[in-house]
Structure 1
Amino acid sequence: MDNEIGHEIADALGILLKRTTRTHLHQQLTEGMGEAVDELTYPVLSALARTGPRSAADLAQIAGVDRSGVTRRASRLEAAGLIRREPDPTDRRAHLLVLTDGGQLVVTELRARLAARITASLASWPPGEAEAFARHLRRFMTEGPFA
């Protein structure tokens, strides 16, 4: 295999990983979800759902947002009842951000919306191609450069 396929994949990943690409998708997914749920708070909700309770500092690294950005977004989400702060059992001075039941419901809806968008975008693919793509993408993520 020559490097051409590597360049083609790198170009596609460059588009996929652009902040503007993610922001646009997050805007579409969060439309009508309430004032606190938008393209800015989506990464915080998503990261908490994936990782469980985290400090703002830890969540900043996972969500790709600086700590002060996480703190501001968490305050909005807390005011809306979607997350809460709990004392960190390992550090009495620190707090963990935790999804509430309401926050979990919002994340479930956002994930359903994302899955529906992905499924709709693959509807025109020939039978079996979407399944093969999913298998290969999973393998790429577990064995490729992001592993």
Structure 2
Amino acid sequence: MGSHLPELLTALTRLTTHWSSASTQYAVAAAAGVDVDPIDIPPLYVLGLEGPARAGDLAIALRLTRPTMSKQLSRLERAGLIERAPDPTDARASIIRLSATGHDVHERLVAQGLSMVTDALSGWGRAEAALFVPQLTRFVEALTDIPTATAIGEGRPPTRS
């Protein structure tokens, strides 16, 4: 297995760089008929896939600083894509959730993403694709089972002592 690791790392780097790029996210949003700044799309994905969350938890999930997350949430709230509700467990905090418009935008972004995945798998056999999905899911789960951003300083790399 070791001889394939550089190739795997290269493929993973290409995938994450491509998918997370502003130009790719802009193209996905445009194709979905969504007018959202590409930088503000990841919180929509997380809220749509995982449900309501506190701003701090979103920042950790997205590996962002709290000030950056706050700016994104302010833009999304002004655009009418999210709503804030009081956190029943902490009066100082709020729970962020997608608005009805935000749900619609999320669904259109996901539909466009699924279309891209379908296109990418178009040359694959059914059995081949059926094997790939659980393997990729297992790989991503193992790869993302690392210390959270809080444990390493709000998304900054740990410092050496």
Match of 2:144 in 1: 146
Residues of 1 paired with 2:126 and 2:54: CA distance? Answer: 44
Helix, strand or coil at the partner of 1:98: strand
Q: Percent identity?
A: 34
Helix, strand or coil at the partner of 1:95: strand
Match of 1:115 in 2: 114
Match of 1:104 in 2: 103
Residues of 1 paired with 2:118 and 2:40: CA distance? Answer: 24
1:22 matched to 2:23? The reply is no
Unpaired runs of at least 5, structure 1: none
Match of 2:5 in 1: 6
Give the root-mean-square deviation of aligned CA atoms: 1.8
TM-score normalized by the length of structure 2: 0.78
Helix, strand or coil at the partner of 2:4: helix
Helix, strand or coil at the partner of 1:96: strand
Residues 93 and 146 of structure 1, relative CA distance in 2, 3 Å threshold:
closer
In the TM superposition, residue 63 of structure 1 has moved relative to its aligned partner by 1.6
Helix, strand or coil at the partner of 2:38: coil
Residues of 2 paired with 1:66 and 1:27: CA distance? Answer: 23
Match of 1:79 in 2: 78
Deviations 1:23-66 (A, max 9, x none): 232121112412xx221110111111222222222111112222
Higher relative contact order, chain-length normalized (CA < 8 Å, sep 6+): 2
Match of 1:59 in 2: 58
> Amino acid of the residue matched to residue 133 of structure 1?
F
In the TM superposition, residue 22 of structure 1 has moved relative to its aligned partner by 0.8
In the TM superposition, residue 88 of structure 1 has moved relative to its aligned partner by 1.0
Unpaired runs of at least 5, structure 2: 146-161
Residues of 2 paired with 1:85 and 1:127: CA distance? Answer: 43
Residues of 2 paired with 1:78 and 1:116: CA distance? Answer: 28
TM-score normalized by the length of structure 1: 0.85
